[in-house]
Amino acid sequence: MLLLTPCSAQRGVPLNTVFGAILFIISVLPLLSDRFVALVVSSAFTVCYNSHKGTACLYQKGSVFMPTQEERLSALEQGLATVQGDFLIHMSENNRQVAALNKVLSLQELHSRDIDHNVTILLGIAGSQGKDIKAIKDDLGVIKESVEHMGQQLNGFEPRFTSLEEKLEQVLQQLATLITKSE
């Protein structure tokens, strides 16, 4: 049991009046949800709050004042309004967080699509370059064959050149002989 006196007032609520005690119960005592609290309002009045039962009583020296059904209903409505307000605030915050997560997910999905698109383009380029390399290899084989054929043809020309050189020398010798005879 927690005993509060007028000097232990919190949030500037004076505990020396019944109204101040009720304000204190509404504002502070729900925070002490696991306790039975007795609040000394004055030398004549004490307010008790039982959190397990959710009840409050006003004791006057020698007698007990129970809240009327109207007072209990009013307190219940106030508590429900507070709970509803807190619920709406939390739902609003939750909605903002979900909206932020949806935005992040949308951006990540967009980036993922961009990456997929770029990878597809790169695969297309790599595939076409592979075809180009194969065509170059095939052309290289044809060029090698052509060079070998030309080499063989050149080798065949060498004996002919030798033969033509010999004939040219013979013609030059005959010319030289003719020139010396005509002189």
pLDDT digits (tens, 9 = 90+) for 132-183: 999 999 999 899 999 998 888 888 888 888 888 999 999 999 888 888 887 7
Dihedrals phi, psi of 56, to nearest 5 degrees: -135, 145
Mean per-residue pLDDT over the chain, rounded: 77
Number of domains in the chain: 1
Strands 55-60 and 2-4 turn out to be unpaired
* 135 part of a folded domain: no
Q: Enumerate long-range contacts of 28-35, CB under 8 Å, 24 or more apart.
A: 29/56, 32/2, 35/1, 35/2
* 79 part of a folded domain: no
Q: What is the mean pLDDT of residues 18-47?
A: 55
26 pLDDT above the threshold of 60: no
- The three-class DSSP label of residue 57 is strand
Q: What is the pLDDT of residue 7?
A: 36
* 149 part of a folded domain: no
Q: What is the pLDDT of residue 107?
A: 96
* 183 part of a folded domain: no
Sheet holding 55-60, edge to edge: 2-4, 36-40, 45-50, 55-60, 63-65
Among residues 30, 3, 31, 25, the alpha carbon closest in space to that of 13 is found at 25
What tokens does 173 get?
Answer: 């010798």
108 pLDDT above the threshold of 90: yes
* 38 part of a folded domain: yes
* 55 part of a folded domain: yes
% of the chain surpassing 70 pLDDT: 63
Quote the domain boundaries for residue 22. Answer: 2-67
* 20 part of a folded domain: yes
Interval 73-103: pLDDT, tens: 888 888 888 889 999 999 999 999 999 999 9
What are the helix (H) ranges across the chain?
18-27, 69-182
35 pLDDT above the threshold of 60: no
What tokens does 5 get?
Answer: 């006196």
Alpha-carbon distance of 182 to 166, in angstroms, equals 25
* 140 part of a folded domain: no
45 pLDDT above the threshold of 50: yes
Is the CB of residue 72 less than 8 Å from the CB of residue 52? no
